[in-house]
Amino acid sequence: MRQQIDTSPRPLSKVKPFRVMAVMQRAAELEEQGRKIVHMEVGEPDFSTAQPIVDAGKQALDQGLTHYTQASGIHELRDCLVEHYRLCYGVEVNRERILITPGASGGLTLLANMLITAGEGVLLSDPAYPCVRNFIHLMAAEPQLIPVGIEQNFQPTLSQLDHYRRSNTTGLWLASPSNPTGTIVERGRLQSACHWAKSNNLHLLVDEIYHGLHYVDDLPSVLEFDESSFVVNSFSKYFGMTGWRLGWIVVPDAYTETANMLAQNLYISASSIAQYAALAAFTDAARVIFEQRRQAFRERRDFLAAALKEIGFQLTDNIQGAFYIYADISKFSDNCEQFCHDLLERHGVAITPGTDFGEYRCNEFVRIAFTTNMQNLELGVERLQTALCS
Ligand SMILES: Cc1ncc(COP(=O)(O)O)c(C=O)c1O
C-alpha cells in the first residue's frame, strides 16, 4: 500500500522574521559607515543591569554556583517571587506554582507546548508582540487575531471576544501592558475577561512582562482574580536583565507537574548564575535603582509623546506602561516599512514598522521606543521635525 504523504505546509513556514531586526542590522551598518543613528527601535532598557545584581552574579561565579539547578529554579528565588506577589498584589501564590524560565521567551515556549494542541485556536490582540503568534503557529495551531484600535485602548472588548471566538478556540492570550501599544487591561476589564474565559471553558494567559514599568496607580495581576490563569513574566524589563535570560511563569496547581516535566525536557534549567544574581533584585538597594529608572522612562514618555503629537503623529494619551509609543502615521504615509526605511536612510532615525506586530491597519502605524536617553530623544525629535515638518 502506498504511504500517505502529508502535504500540509509545515508550521515553520508560517513563522516570520522580525522586521525590527533588519532595521537594527541596517542601523549598525550605517553606524559602521560613520553615521550617527538615533535608536528608537530597540525593545530593551538602555540602562545596564543594576550594580547589586551584577555584584551578586560575580559572587555566584566565584562561589562556583555554575551548575544546573532544579528545572523549576532555585527555591530562594521562587520564595522572593512568592513575597513579591504578596507585597505587590496581595495574593498568595505557593512556591510550587512558580517556575523560573530562560526569559519570558522560555516561559512562552513552555506554556505553548503545555496548553496548545495542533488545530486549536488562540485569541490574541492585533497588534501584539510578534513571537506570540509564531509560538502558536509552531504548535500547528491558529492565532485568532482580534483587531484593536486606539478607541478601545488597544485591548479587546468583551463583545469582540464573543465575536472572534471560533469552535476550535481553546485559549485567550493577553498582554498588560502591551508591546507595542503600552496600554493595560484595566481592573474591571481583566476581571470580566477572566470570567468570560472561565465561562467559555478557555485557558487564560496574561503576559505581565512590563509590570513594574507602569505609570498608572493600578495595574492588577490576573492572579488577583483567577488562580486558574497562567502568567508569564521576566527579569528583562523592569529588573533590567535582558541579556541574563531570566523569566518566570505562574501556573495553576494542577499544572505544576507537567510544567516541571516540560522544563526538564526543553531547557533543563534556567541559567544558575542569572538566578543567583536575580536574588539581589529584591533588595532595597536594587529597588531604589529600578524606581529611578521607572521615573526616567516616565519623563521620556511625557517628552516624546508631546513632541510626536506636535509633529503630527496620532497617538493615545493613555501610554500606561512599557516603553513604547504606537503612533499612527496616516498623516504622512500608508506604507510603514517605506516610512521607516526613509527615516533611517535619510535622517538616521531607527523605528519599527507596524507590520511587525500584526495585520490590523499595521501599515499606518510605527512603534517608537523611548529606550534611549533624553539627549538622543531630543535629537530624534529634531530629525523627525526636519523629515516631516519641512
Ligand atoms: C510582550 C513581551 N513578551 C515577552 C518578551 C520576551 O522577553 P524575554 O524573553 O527577554 O523575557 C518580550 C520582549 O520584548 C515582550 O515584549
pTM: 0.96
* pLDDT of 5 higher than 60: no
Per-residue confidence (pLDDT) for residue 181, from 0 to 100: 98
What are the angstrom distances between the C-alpha of 369 and each of 43, 307, 319, 341, 374? 7, 14, 12, 16, 12
Per-residue confidence (pLDDT) for residue 305, from 0 to 100: 98
Q: Average model confidence (pLDDT) for the chain?
A: 96
Strand partners, 205: 173, 230
Per-residue confidence (pLDDT) for residue 199, from 0 to 100: 97
Per-residue confidence (pLDDT) for residue 7, from 0 to 100: 58
CA distance 66 to 58: 11
Name residues contacting ligand 1 (CB within 6 A): 43, 103-105, 129, 175, 179, 207, 209, 234, 236, 242, 247
Distance 223 CA to ligand 1 centre (A): 19
Atom of ligand 1 nearest to the CA of 106: 9
Q: Which residue has the cell 536612510?
A: 345
Distance 301 CA to ligand 1 centre (A): 20
Q: Which residues of 195-224 are buried (b: 16+ CB within 10 A; e: fewer)?
A: ebbeeeebbbbbbbbbbbbbbeeebbbbbe
If one residue of 41, 209, 266 were mutated to test the ligand 1 pocket, choosing by the most ligand atoms within 8 A of its CB, it would be: 209
The whole-number average pLDDT for the span 293-311 is 98
The whole-number average pLDDT for the span 246-266 is 98
Q: What is the pLDDT of residues 89-142, one digit of tens each?
A: 999 999 999 999 999 999 999 999 999 999 999 999 999 999 999 999 999 999
Confidence at 6, pLDDT banded by 50, 70, 90: low
Confidence at 85, pLDDT banded by 50, 70, 90: very high
* pLDDT of 1 higher than 70: no
Cβ atoms within 10 Å of 43's Cβ, excluding its own: 19
Furthest C-alpha separation in the chain:
72
140 burial (CB, 10 Å; 0-12 / 13-18 / 19+) is middle
- Give residue 66's identity as a one-letter amino acid code: T
**Which domains does the chain possess?**
14-48+285-389 (3.90.1150.10), 52-283 (3.40.640.10)
Per-residue confidence (pLDDT) for residue 268, from 0 to 100: 98
